[in-house]
Structure 1
Amino acid sequence: MQYAPHTPLPASAPNGVTAGIDWASADHACCVVDAAGKVVKRFTVNHTGTGLTELTRRLAKAGVAEVAIERGDGPIVEALLAADLTVVVISPNQVKNLRSRYGAAGNKDDRFDAFVLADTLRTDRARLRPLTPDSPATTTLRSTVRARRDLVAHRVAVCNQLRAHLATAFPAAVGLFADLDSPISLAFLTRFDCQDRADWLSERRLAAWLASVGYCGRKTPAALLAHLKAAPHGATGADGTTRAHITRALLAVLTSLVEQIKTLEAQISEQLALHADAQTFTSLPRSGTVRAARLLAEIGDCRARFPDPASLACLAGVAPSTRQSGKHKSVAFRWAVNKQLRDAVCDFAADSRRANPWAAKLYADAIARGKDHPHATRILARAWLYVIWHCWQDGVAYDPAKHGALQALLRQDQQAAA
């Protein structure tokens, strides 16, 4: 297919003026320049509803139709878009390098950065693209997915803290079940939170308790009791009682995190099912629900943002950064990326090789060339993004029967088997 068209900025700014905004948590510095690069207005507004209203009013009064800013989301961007202003995002890394264009010191100053943004929008129009926001459905899904990921990180941290605590307070509880944060493990620790309570257990009592909570695991009551008896003895008496308070406190936090993660996963499932692009991402091998939602949320639904697969791969950080000067050429890891997108794409790619022969071969070939696991995963992720981009641009599901490289590999395997 042809690469997606992008909407460029007009050759000259409407009304001959451009604006730059250096945003902050408390206030925002704004600068307006004319067609010659001369400052015609400077002002600062507070980060409040009244302040944002004043910002759009003063920009309109100055004849501004285009605004450059360092971020592409948040209340200030929503206010600018609601006022029918064209928003152009210039990343902080670009602004840092652009400061040297206007002075050798390179000092950071909010008022100066606002001028740099406004003047860059005036002079570098051919290389800049207007911001096209994602749909509300995608924005909401992104917020939910990222919130879940943050809670998962908290769950892992609390689980590690509980494991470290149990190593001295009640070692037998560690490794009793497959996961320390599993429902059966949390239920066991709620009922038997110290060594003294666990010592009361016999095989018959343990079997009765397991039946009462509906345990249907692979371990028999005898095997579980043997684990409890073989483990180092934990704290007992007054010391055990004191440590049990800590156990219960950590359990309360961990249980709450597990419940809230499940709640967010249910919301993600519902939001994904209602999204217009859901089929493209749920059709990918081993994408599941949460993984597909992460890919969709981080890539978005604005096709103009990624006019070709290379632009998507670069933002995801799976394309290397090449520097060349004279005879010297270096290929390095790409740092200036969307880390959320890179994590989502690499997480999907790493697991896709278990269900897709083409992905498995790409990964294996990279390992055979001496690449480590993260590097091989990024190589596979870059290849997947070219496939995903075409499906995403066409709004179709991934079909293995139409994946040329996969089908060619399958034919080779059939011929070799014959």
Structure 2
Amino acid sequence: MYSIGIDWADAKHDLCILAENGTVHSAFEISNDQHGFDLLRKRLGRLNAPFRINIERTDGLLVDWLVRNGHAVYLTPPLALHHRRPRRSKTDQSDAYLLAHLLRIGETECRPLARRSDLVEYLRQLLRAYDSILQEQRRFGNRLIYLLKLYYPAALKAFCQPYRLIAMSFLERYPTPEAAQRVTLDELRQFLRDEKYRGQKLDLKVLELYDILQAPAPKADVQAGSVIHVQMLIPVLRHIYRSRRDLEKQIVHAFQGHPDAAMWLTIPGAQRLTAARLLAWIGDDRARFSTANVLQATAGTVPVTRRSGKSKSVEFRTACSHKIRKAVDDLSRQSVKKSNWARAYYDAQIERGHGAARAYRALGNRWLSIIWKLWQTQQAYDEKIHRANRAMHGQLQLTK
């Protein structure tokens, strides 16, 4: 059995092939194009024994090509590779060798690459785009908040999220504090109606905004440049906001088209976007996680034990799938509002002196144990069955 390590790069890839006894069979590089892939096909075809391939990433043209050609592909997380790399030693060739070596010795961090359906891959791509949009909204939103603090703090008091559509429309209609102070009650009422305001009673909101805008406030000596900057940001933020809403619809539509969607939606607190994230990052390859503990370790909800001589430490797990961890954390925070036992479990963690983050992580760990079983059997979650099982085993239960 040959073990092959591939160090991925944008323009070329370095490969190292180890024989079963650990000696280097060959080392070479290929270009990241069809010519390089054809060369790789020829080199692999010359091997006189089965082989496995270890790589650092889960996507890209090379990974697609390897999977499409039926090769056994394994994944080693970049952080795990970093921890095993000799200090001050980093070359593409040495990383390719290390990847092959870790695969040959059976390193536990080398896991088979999950075989995802096309729909799950499409959902993952949409979620990456969505996360990118969220990041851009935060970036430009923070810039808008910074500028308003310089000359227009009343707008921030009136609208705590100035990157929302109604707030940006207000800033366009009343771009300066002076313009806002000239507004009348009737004009404010008409503005809210134009924006289809659906909050608290309209008249109360009008009075609240009017009092904020009329309150005395310090003036900026020069504000014209900041006003122009804000007006430039508004169309960008408006486009980002609408793109985000469109992406949400596409994500939900793709999620609902998957056979596993109904199962995910039965979990208390798994709103559609959270459920879509769980499906996308956990996937639909039932062989990917052989046990619940493997899934929990991948999500980083269980600690890692380190031993050295007589010393032993239990530490927070940093090498994990941060996307799964975030999705599970979201589920934990939402489930305490929807599930009695989840609320009780979280409260018990707090009573033991744990902080909120650790309590949610512990709850997420419990959820993953349940999710793994549902995921394997494709059964819907039933709160009554789970509460009965917990009572049977003498575990914490919250009665109605």
TM-score, normalised to structure 1, is 0.86
Are 2:66 and 1:75 aligned? no
Of 374, 377, 394, which aligns to 2:360? 377
Unaligned runs of 5+ in 1: 1-12
Partner of 2:44: 59
Alpha carbons of structure 1 residues 121 and 217: separation in structure 2 relative to 1, 3 Å:
closer
Of 130, 153, 161, which aligns to 2:112? 130
**Offset of residue 120 of structure 1:** 3.9
Write the mapping of 1:114-125 to structure 2, written as runs, cut at 5 A: 114-124=96-106
Are 2:383 and 1:400 aligned? yes
Kept in 1: contact 2:303–2:316 (CA 8 A): yes
Partner of 1:173: 155
**Offset of residue 93 of structure 1:** 4.4
Write the mapping of 1:9-408 to structure 2, written as runs, cut at 5 A: 13=1, 17-63=2-48, 65-96=51-82, 107-124=89-106, 129-218=111-200, 219-230=204-215, 232-235=217-220, 239-325=222-308, 328-404=311-387, 408=391
Any idea what SS the aligned residue of 2:157 has? Answer: coil
Alpha carbons of structure 1 residues 251 and 233: separation in structure 2 relative to 1, 3 Å:
farther
Partner of 1:8: none
The amino acid of 2:32's aligned partner reads H
Deviations 1:40-93 (A, max 9, x none): 322111122332232233222334642222223222111111222111223344
The amino acid of 2:170's aligned partner reads F
**Offset of residue 326 of structure 1:** 5.8
Kept in 2: contact 1:285–1:352 (CA 8 A): yes
**Offset of residue 106 of structure 1:** 7.0
Any idea what SS the aligned residue of 2:278 has? Answer: helix
The amino acid of 1:310's aligned partner reads N
**Offset of residue 117 of structure 1:** 2.9
Unaligned runs of 5+ in 2: none
Kept in 1: contact 2:341–2:397 (CA 8 A): no
Kept in 1: contact 2:340–2:398 (CA 8 A): no
**Offset of residue 371 of structure 1:** 0.7
**Offset of residue 125 of structure 1:** 8.4
TM-score, normalised to structure 2, is 0.90
Kept in 2: contact 1:29–1:44 (CA 8 A): yes
Identical-residue share of aligned pairs (%): 32
Any idea what SS the aligned residue of 1:403 has? Answer: helix
Kept in 2: contact 1:32–1:41 (CA 8 A): yes
Kept in 1: contact 2:5–2:17 (CA 8 A): yes
CA distance in 2, matches of 1:130, 1:193: 56
Kept in 2: contact 1:37–1:122 (CA 8 A): yes
Deviations 1:154-183 (A, max 9, x none): 212322221121122212111213532222
Kept in 2: contact 1:28–1:45 (CA 8 A): yes
Alpha carbons of structure 1 residues 175 and 71: separation in structure 2 relative to 1, 3 Å:
same
Partner of 1:7: none
> Bigger shift: 387-396 or 171-180?
171-180
**Offset of residue 25 of structure 1:** 2.0
Alpha carbons of structure 1 residues 212 and 129: separation in structure 2 relative to 1, 3 Å:
closer
RMSD: 2.5
> Bigger shift: 38-47 or 367-376?
38-47
> Bigger shift: 260-269 or 277-286?
277-286
> Bigger shift: 340-349 or 145-154?
145-154
Any idea what SS the aligned residue of 2:25 has? Answer: strand
Any idea what SS the aligned residue of 1:31 has? Answer: strand
The amino acid of 1:220's aligned partner reads K
**Offset of residue 395 of structure 1:** 1.1
The amino acid of 2:11's aligned partner reads A
- Residue-pair matches, total: 393
**Offset of residue 380 of structure 1:** 0.6
The amino acid of 1:170's aligned partner reads Y
Kept in 2: contact 1:22–1:110 (CA 8 A): yes
Alpha carbons of structure 1 residues 231 and 355: separation in structure 2 relative to 1, 3 Å:
farther
The amino acid of 1:277's aligned partner reads D
Alpha carbons of structure 1 residues 405 and 254: separation in structure 2 relative to 1, 3 Å:
farther
Kept in 2: contact 1:31–1:118 (CA 8 A): yes
Partner of 1:4: none
Alpha carbons of structure 1 residues 129 and 171: separation in structure 2 relative to 1, 3 Å:
closer
